[in-house]
Amino acid sequence: MRIAIVYYSEHHGNTKKLLDAVKELGDVTLIDAGCCKGADLSTYDIIGFASGTYGGRFSPAVIEFAKDNLPSNKRVFLISTYGLWAARTRDLEQIFAARSCRLLGMYSCRGFCTFGPLKLIGGIAKGHPNERDVKGAVEFFKNIIAQ
């Protein structure tokens, strides 16, 4: 089974930390939406989208990548990290619905955040994602590939 995960992980590498653990479980291709604007996803069985939370949403780079590159009738999943609030997923869910894609599940956990005024206090969610968060992502991914 071939799996691609399109991601954006900029500030502290929180999301990438989860994906590095998940990648060890199978034939997983990671595609960085920050530097790759397009890819042929048609040969993948399952496609994931992963991002930190930016203004309460997935990264615009991931959303645009999905709009421009997601084929129809694919199985998809979401992974995100957040400082204060989990990401709203409506934008991506609308893209999935328009392309008749099936959302298999979502995983979200805290991630170290120093955005804006949080930098003045040294950030929040220090040490996250931690070992428990990473194990949660791995278990989530095992369930995704079992579907």
pLDDT tens per residue across span 30-51? 999 999 888 999 999 999 999 9
Output the pLDDT for position 7: 96
pLDDT value of position 39 = 94
Q: Could you tell me which CATH number the domain at 3-146 has?
A: 3.40.50.360
pLDDT value of residue 43: 97
* Predicted pLDDT of residue 124: 46
| Regions of the chain where pLDDT drops below 70 | 12, 84, 112-125, 127
Spell out the domain ranges in the chain.
3-146
Give the chain as a DSSP string.
Answer: --EEEEEE--SS-HHHHHHHHHHTTSSEEEEETTT------TT-SEEEEEEEEETTEE-HHHHHHHHHHPPSS-EEEEEEEESSSPPB-HHHHHHHHHTT-EEEEEEEEE--B--GGGGGGT-BSTT-S-HHHHHHHHHHHHHHHH-
**How many other β-carbons are positioned within 10 Å of the β-carbon of residue 54?**
17
* pTM as predicted: 0.91
Predicted pLDDT of residue 33: 96
Q: What is the pLDDT of residue 37?
A: 87
